[in-house]
Amino acid sequence: MIHKGGLYHRPKSNFAYGYNNETLHIRVRAMKGEVKKAICRIGDPYLWERGGAGGGNLEASGSYGWKSENIPMKLEATTQYHDYFFIEVPRETKRSRYAFILENDNERLLYGERRIIDLDDTDKEKQVLNDLSNFFCFPYLNAIDVLKTPQWAKETVWYQIFPERFANGDKSNDPENTEPWGSEPTFNNYMGGDLQGIMDKLDYLVDLGITGILFCPLFKANSNHKYQTIDYYQIDPGFGTNELFKQFVEKAHEKGIRIMLDGVFNHVGYRHPFCQDVVEKGEQSIYKDWFCIKEFPVKKGGYETFATTPHMPKVNLEFEAARDYFLDVGRFWVEEFNIDGWRLDVANEISHSFWKQFRQTIKQINKDVFILGEVWHDALPWIQGDQYDSVMHYPVTDACKRYFALNQMTKKEFIDTINHIIVNYPKNASESMYNLLNTHDTSRFLSVAGEDSRKLLLAYVFIFTYPGCPSIYYGDEIGLSGHKGSSENHRRCMPWDESLWNHDLRNSIKSLISIRKDNRDFVSGDIEWLDHIIDDTQCLAYRRENCLVFINPTDEHRVLSLPEIYSSLEDLRTKQLINNTEIDVRAWDYRIIKIK
């Protein structure tokens, strides 16, 4: 039986969207296992053999012969409770009306926008399959509404740097009372990391293979993390100067590395001059409407903030002057310094209206600037073509931690979770998602995994072979660990004494980066789970275009049998040809194999 209440579709969402200027993607959801065959009946509502547009198309008197087609849909994904069927449809005319014919051994239904109809009568079927009033509508595939992410971003391997703790290259700009490099990190101490230090280590990053750097904030602030901004137009003096940053961007670009800045526009630092003007002058301040003040005179905490931290007062970006100021900040660093991207802090707490203006402002300067939002939850409303290009993909982070690090998920639960994440987004959004295992805001994955670097590596194997662009948090590649908690150990200094490095881990991550860069199979296309051909309850097995990935997160050696059609293979780690269809995967190891 097909439960009608389990059917779901909605146009202009992750269920129906423009993948590019000429192609529609359409999904429909049904209860798990209930639909054996799904067909999308689709056509231009104005094209009929007779009548149609001249008669008002939906109420076309005397019309017949709607020029539509029935296109079989594929089973795209299965989650814990649902099946999702998918179709890619080229649309020359741009306009579409469509409905779904859903079948199993006993039933045949038409699922439309207004009604679900049993197709049990031939005469009735002919009528309802041409009654466009019950068909979903995608009115027009407007090119401007399609999410267009810069192609370079989809191909980038990101490396996130917490600048104060990466490398100290210029001791002359060290903040007062700077502590020795590698001291125990706290909320308030300084180690002297700066732009010169990062510039000095660019060759290290080139050797690792990364092609993009995401900086935590660089602007002037009175904290080591710099999320309490005082001046948005000035590099923090402890990091260097604006001129040094310009040199850094130029040098990074010469080495093939893109640069993304962290834009903290939701709030400013309490010591920001505009905020202090309000504190001093109260209702007489010209900046009083820039902030969400609860009462005058202003006392610390008498205003809305980021979270509950009074040293980060929230900005009222619905006030025109404040909005224009931050739009200019976004424009300034793109125009004057040629940065390649903006990461937007606390992006989900700022209005959609502001982000739409922000995108228009930035893309008018350079359409290839990458706009990345910090959203920890389902982010669909922000990535439909008019705001961000991508978001930090924390739902995948959480799934990887629960599966690889904590053993809180079975293989089936992990696949169900990943499938649910995939169908939550348009494919053109998934292809550029910023995939990560940890950041400056989280405990390091290695510590969550009980300091087991095997688990960290396998999680990175998944991140590097999953749709989207992978990111490495500085130091992960050498086995840097640290819990977030009463200390700041997740933000500890990068150790440059190589005797402290896990070289095997670093070499493995270098290999992953190289494999990804050499195989475009991981840049686009779906993830196809191979459970239908691999009989193993523990090993992850999936296909990305012409690459097969096998991950064994267990203590046992596994031998996986492939069908004979996979007889011509190459191991991408060893560059050796495989002469049989028996794939050995050692305990806590992986194989990445190319179909020749």
Based on the residue annotation, tell me whether 345 is a catalytic residue of this protein: yes
Three-state DSSP at 254 gives helix
Kindly list the strands in the beta sheet with 569-571, ordered across the sheet, starting from the edge strand earlier in the chain.
528-529, 540-544, 547-552, 589-595, 569-571, 576-578
The CATH number that applies at residue 539 is 2.60.40.1180
What was the pLDDT predicted at 485?
Answer: 82
Which residue in the list 345, 416, 476, 589 is annotated as catalytic?
A: 345
Do 259 and 129 share a structural domain?
no
Do 344 and 216 share a structural domain?
yes
What was the pLDDT predicted at 60?
Answer: 52
| Burial of 280 from C-beta contacts in 10 A (0-12 / 13-18 / 19+) | exposed
What was the pLDDT predicted at 453?
Answer: 98
Do 574 and 555 share a structural domain?
yes
Q: Which two tokens stand for residue 259?
A: 């640069």
Based on the residue annotation, tell me whether 374 is a catalytic residue of this protein: yes
Do 482 and 411 share a structural domain?
yes
Name the nearest CA neighbour of 369 among 380, 358, 382: 358
Torsion of CA 459, 461, 467, 473, to 10 degrees: 60
Other C-beta atoms closer than 10 Å to the C-beta of 492 total 20
| Burial of 322 from C-beta contacts in 10 A (0-12 / 13-18 / 19+) | buried
61-92 per-residue burial string, b: 16 or more CB within 10 A, e: under 16:
eebeebebeeeebeebbbbeebbbbbbebebe
Per-residue pLDDT of the chain (596 residues; tens, 9 = 90+): 999 999 999 999 999 999 999 999 999 999 999 999 999 999 999 888 876 654 445 555 555 788 899 999 999 999 999 999 999 999 888 999 999 999 999 999 999 999 999 998 777 888 889 889 999 999 999 999 999 999 999 999 999 999 999 999 999 999 999 999 999 999 999 999 999 999 999 999 999 999 999 999 999 999 999 999 999 999 999 999 999 999 999 999 999 999 999 999 999 999 999 999 999 999 999 999 999 999 999 988 899 999 999 999 999 999 999 999 999 999 999 999 999 999 999 999 999 999 999 999 999 999 999 999 999 999 999 999 999 999 999 999 999 999 999 999 999 999 999 999 999 999 999 999 999 999 999 999 999 999 999 999 999 999 999 999 999 999 999 999 999 987 899 999 999 999 999 999 999 999 999 999 999 999 988 999 999 999 899 999 999 999 999 999 999 999 999 998 888 899 999 999 998 889 999 999 999 999 98
Do 391 and 344 share a structural domain?
yes
Q: Which domain holds residue 334?
A: 158-266+318-520
Positions of E strands within 35-118: 37-50, 64-72, 74-78, 82-90, 96-103, 108-111, 116-118
Helix axes 320-337, 242-254, angle to 10 degrees: 50
Is residue 151 domain-resident?
Answer: no
Do 456 and 514 share a structural domain?
yes
Count of structural domains, the chain: 4
Amino acid sitting at position 67: K
- Is residue 30 a contact partner of residue 2, using CB atoms and an 8 Å limit? yes
Which residue in the list 44, 262, 340, 374 is annotated as catalytic?
A: 374
| Burial of 367 from C-beta contacts in 10 A (0-12 / 13-18 / 19+) | exposed
Is residue 152 domain-resident?
Answer: no
The CATH number that applies at residue 245 is 3.20.20.80
The CATH number that applies at residue 117 is 2.60.40.10
